[in-house]
Amino acid sequence: MNLHVCMLKENDCYKAGRTIVPKGVMVHSTGANNPNLRRYVGPDDGLLGESSSRNWNQSGVGACVHAFIGRQKDGTVATYQTLPWTMRGWHSASGPKGSANNTHISFEICEDDLSDETYFRAVYQEAVELTAYLCQRYGLDPKADGVVICHQEGHQRGIASNHADVLHWFPMYGKSMDDFRADVAQAMEEETVTQEQFNKMMEVYLKSRTKLATSDWAKEPLRQAVERGFTDGTSPQGFATRQEVAAMLNAALK
């Protein structure tokens, strides 16, 4: 799973600040031909690309999920967490038996035009891994009744509005929600990570940090530090080793 964090703090749902005890995970897809995360998530962290003026990090949107899965600006498929996992989202609306907003963590898969099998396979696997992570974290059994469901299944259960997702898309590529739940369960069983795998994941993570842009609050201090020769200003959000810290301190004390 290629997980990043970009909280939608300007969304009215985030500002409401209500919480839940997670009892399940609800899978959604966006219903629009735009696989780019920047359509929904912002601001740009250096990997997303310039956010759409219609992104969800603003007041008045009327909906909010805990995460989005889609493409970064370089085409890489990633997951962006957009609400704390235990915050009550606005994703399912209600049915005659209540609302999954009160019980389920939610995420949206950014749809393309539904014709690209390679893209589908990539976001499907990312969704499996995200759901496995959430089930592991909150002690949920993905095969138990009503734990891992899609929006359409939520409607059938009377806890969501009448939407088709994701069963208008998954079957096009031979996948059902039963397949999805089984794949999540299998991923949970295979979660043991070797040292080699961990090292590779850490390498990817550290490399991603070097691509992040300077935070607004740090731009002026960084500029001054570069002028004084304390640092070269590259990789502003990369982690510093002790030897690098020692070199910067030595330059500052001269």
Half-sphere exposure of 153 (CA within 13 A, CB side): 19
pLDDT band per the 50, 70, 90 thresholds, residue 193? low
pLDDT at position 192 over 60: no
Residue 194 near residue 223 (C-beta atoms within 8 A): no
Residues 6+ apart with CB under 8 A from 28: 65, 91, 106, 107, 108, 109, 150, 151, 163, 165, 166
Residue 194's pLDDT is 66
Mean pLDDT, residues 217-236: 88
Segment 32-52 shows an average pLDDT of 97
